[in-house]
Amino acid sequence: MTLSADVGVRLGSLDLQAELEVRDGELLALLGPNGAGKSTILRALAGLQPLDSGRIVIDEIAVDEPATETFIPPEHRSVGVVFQDYLLFQHMSVLENVAFGLRARKTPKADARRLAAEWIERVGLTDYADDRPHALSGGQAQRVALARALATGPRVLLLDEPLAALDVGARAGLRRELRQHLDSFDGMRVLVTHDPVDAYALADRVAIVSEGRIAQVGTLADVTAHPRSRYVADLVGVNLVAGRVVDGVLTTVSGAAVVIADAPNGPSLAVIKPHSITLVRAPDPGSSVRNVWPGTVVDVDRLGDRVRIGLGGVLPLTAEITTAALEQLELRPGDEIHATAKATDIEVYPA
Amino acid sequence: MTANERRDGRTRLPLPVLALAIIAILFFALPLLGLLMRAPWGSAWEYLTTDEVRTALKLSLICSLWATGLSIVFGVPLAWLLAKVAFRGSAAVRALCTLSMVLPPVVGGVALFAALGRRGIVGQYLDQWLGIRLPFTTAGVVIAQTFVAMPFLVITVEAALRQLDDRVEDAARTLGGSRWYTFRRVTLPAIRPALGAGAVLAWARALGEFGATITFAGNFPGTTQTMPLAVYLALETNPEEAIMLALVLITISFVVLVLLRDRWFGRRQVQTYEMQTYQLQNYDAVG
């Protein structure tokens, strides 16, 4: 049971040619900047954007294939969508919103309301069942949108930037909550996001979308450590370090310590940009740099005029330096080196 | 700006502007005041209970409601077509369908004759084949009123449909709603305030319709003589009666507006509505 899609769409200046596959129970994140075509892929999967070429197959049934003039309209696909700003029906109560899909599929009214009430309970909004959507907070609206999309029991769940409409302060908590809800759905899931942190927290695999093409697919760890192009490196080629923050120091499971500028205690995710890491042969005791990690050069990848140095050790890192710096340092795989980073250059997100 | 004005954050309107605005208010208030002062209150009841008046009033209400109903049935799909479907010549179609708003209603009546009269391009066949004659009948009144009233509903509903986020309909489709189900359960409720405002506008225009009606349907008591026609006729024979009838029309319009205001409109729709009513007065002045 899989979703496989070869999406060919021409839309204005966008020329979309993207192949992707989602396995049962898997969450694939489409990661890329605005205008790359991520949302158009999602619309094509949902049936809101007919293909110009290619083919979309859900559970071995072709739902869109221009070559054979096959097109199953959105209302007959087993696909649920959580839209970017949720698009709840403002003239209906929360309960009616969640019951909408069931009613549209001819479920008797009493049954639809009972099932919708169960979904609302599952997302913890029973007290709001009779409220209008405008009375809800962003996070609550997101849960209603999720319950509404899942109530009809779709095989595929599509999420378009589900966290983008929320303010920054609320995102971390809601990201965790969304993850719990997504984990309880065992179908295929596709998430569109421009934020690597979302992808890290929610996705099993990521597909990097760039100018209508899939630039690279893999696990996030794989893609961030080994970006195959300058573009992917700039977009997601960051060091993601998971650990627990205690009093301004994040400690990883393997015992590496990362000194950070202030962040609340608790499980967190640190983002260290490769270009903010400085490599030195011998650490300077007079420096203000708070983080000095010893490591071994594992690989040297040239991407244009820059070089990505993979470091092994207690804290595996990727550093980015210029070719000139590489020649000056005369780095070779196997060399012992120190990576340094200022605490203020490290971003920390509660996980 | 004085310290006091700065404190409460208001700017005083320049005097000439204020004076002109007050003149404008008087311009609208004085005719109403004149009617109220000149009305023969002593014999009001006798005027209002004559058979003639009751017949005209009943006919006006029935015809204007029919015209409103027809405007909704045909106007909403037309508005939908104009708002949602991009087709060649849509601008021309829109202009054609709203022409009767700016056309002198008498001209509309003549045009209806040319189309639906006994010798009209369609009317002759209606007569020959089906035995249907529209001119000088109550149905003709409804046709004339619909002709001038429907555009008000169409432009109001079209504007609302244009403002509607298409993606809300997309969301309904992905949830399993067919196009028709989505239109009924999502699109229509979302434009309900505009539909209400448009229907009231169309109804008000139909109720006040004079020129097209008298041209196309004539002025026969009991079948085609609506209130505005009765007012006009009474003015020539008995001005006091005309004033009473005019006040009745104003009262009906006013009561309906107040009732609908609470029922259908949020504050913003009321403002839009009032703005459009003002336009409506203008069009009437043209006719």
Q: What is the pLDDT of residues A41-84, one digit of tens each?
A: 999 999 999 999 999 999 999 999 999 999 999 999 999 999 98
d(CA B120, CA B136): 14
Residue type, A309: I
d(CA A265, CA A257): 14
Rg value, chain A, Cα: 23
Q: How far is CA B134 from the centre of its chain?
A: 22
Q: Identify the bridge partners of residue A349 per DSSP, sorted by sequence position.
A: A269
Nearest to A91 among B165, B174, B189 (CB): B189
| Fold exhibited by the domain B44-286 | MetI-like fold (1.10.3720)
Nearest to B173 among A75, A91, A152 (CB): A75
- Cβ contact, residue pair A101, B178, below 8 Å: no
Q: Average of pLDDT values for B128-155? A: 92
- Cβ contact, residue pair A148, B167, below 8 Å: no
- CATH ID of A2-234, from 3.30.70.330, 3.30.9.10, 3.40.50.300, 3.30.365.10: 3.40.50.300
Closest-CA residue to A88 (of B168, B163, B173): B168
* Chain B contact present for A74, CB below 8 A: yes
Query: From B171, which residue of chain A is nearest by alpha-carbon distance?
Result: A87
Residue type, B168: V
Residue type, A220: L
- Cβ contact, residue pair A83, B167, below 8 Å: yes
Please name the residues in contact with B113: beta carbons below 8 A apart, sequence gap of 6 or more.
B120, B135, B215, B216
Structure tokens at A305: 């005029």
Closest-CA residue to B211 (of B105, B61, B125, B58): B105
Query: From B189, which residue of chain A is nearest by alpha-carbon distance?
Result: A91
Closest-CA residue to B66 (of B282, B118, B58, B193): B58
Q: Average of pLDDT values for B67-74? A: 96
pLDDT at B6 over 70: no
d(CA B283, CA B102): 6
- Cβ contact, residue pair A89, B177, below 8 Å: no
- Cβ contact, residue pair B171, A105, below 8 Å: no
Residue A292 has φ and ψ, to the nearest 5°, of -130, 115
Q: What ipTM does the predicted assembly reach?
A: 0.79
Nearest to A100 among B175, B178, B192 (CB): B175
Query: From A149, which residue of chain B is nearest by alpha-carbon distance?
Result: B175
User: Mutate which of B166, B168, B174 to disrupt the A interface (most A C-beta within 10 Å)?
Assistant: B174
CB B249 within 8 A of CB B173: no
Within 41-70 of A, beta carbons closer than 8 Å to B belong to 43, 46-48
Lowest mean pLDDT among A216-230, B124-138, B152-166: A216-230
Greater confidence, B213 or B4? B213
**Chain A residue numbers touching B167 (CB-CB < 8 A):** 83, 87
* pLDDT given at position A65: 94
Q: How far is CA A186 from each of CA A1, A5, A157, A182, B60, rounded to the nearest angstrom? A: 12, 20, 10, 8, 64
Q: How far is CA A277 from the centre of its chain?
A: 24
- Rounded to two decimals, the pTM is 0.75
User: Mutate which of B166, B168, B173, B175 to disrupt the A interface (most A C-beta within 10 Å)?
Assistant: B175
Question: If pLDDT is split at 50, 70 and 90, which confidence band does B265 have?
Answer: low
Which residue ranges make up each domain of chain B?
44-286
Query: From B182, which residue of chain A is nearest by alpha-carbon distance?
Result: A104
Closest-CA residue to B142 (of B226, B33, B24): B226
* pLDDT given at position B3: 53
Query: From B181, which residue of chain A is nearest by alpha-carbon distance?
Result: A104
pLDDT at B97 over 70: yes
Kindly report the average pLDDT of chain B as a whole number: 84
For residue A93, the distance in angstroms to the closest alpha carbon of chain B comes to 13
Q: Identify the bridge partners of residue A348 per DSSP, sorted by sequence position.
A: A270
Q: Can you count the helices (H) and strands (E) in chain B?
A: 16, 0
Helix, strand, or coil here: A260? coil
* Chain B contact present for A80, CB below 8 A: yes
- Cβ contact, residue pair A90, B175, below 8 Å: no
d(CA A268, CA A264): 9
The CATH classification number of A238-350 equals 2.40.50.100
Q: How far is CA B152 from each of CA B191, B193, B250, rounded to the nearest angstrom? A: 15, 14, 20
Q: Average of pLDDT values for B34-51? A: 85
- Cβ contact, residue pair B181, A104, below 8 Å: yes
Closest-CA residue to A152 (of A111, A202, A91, A203): A111
Lowest mean pLDDT among A224-238, B230-244, B272-286: B272-286
d(CA A222, CA A236): 11
d(CA A35, CA B197): 39
pLDDT at B272 over 90: no
| β pairing state of A27-31 and A205-210 | parallel
Structure tokens at A252: 């990883």
* Chain A contact present for B165, CB below 8 A: yes
* Chain A contact present for B58, CB below 8 A: no
- Cβ contact, residue pair A104, B168, below 8 Å: no
- Cβ contact, residue pair B171, A87, below 8 Å: yes
How many other C-beta atoms can be found within 10 angstroms of the C-beta atom of residue A201? 23
Which residue ranges make up each domain of chain A?
2-234, 238-350
CB A192 within 8 A of CB A45: no
The predicted-structure confidence for B168-178, as pLDDT tens digits, reads as follows: 999 999 999 99
For residue B260, the distance in angstroms to the closest alpha carbon of chain A comes to 19
d(CA A32, CA A231): 10
Hey, do A2-234 and A238-350 end up sharing a CATH topology, with the first three levels equal?
A: no
pLDDT at B264 over 80: no
d(CA A100, CA A95): 9
Question: If pLDDT is split at 50, 70 and 90, which confidence band does B277 have?
Answer: very low
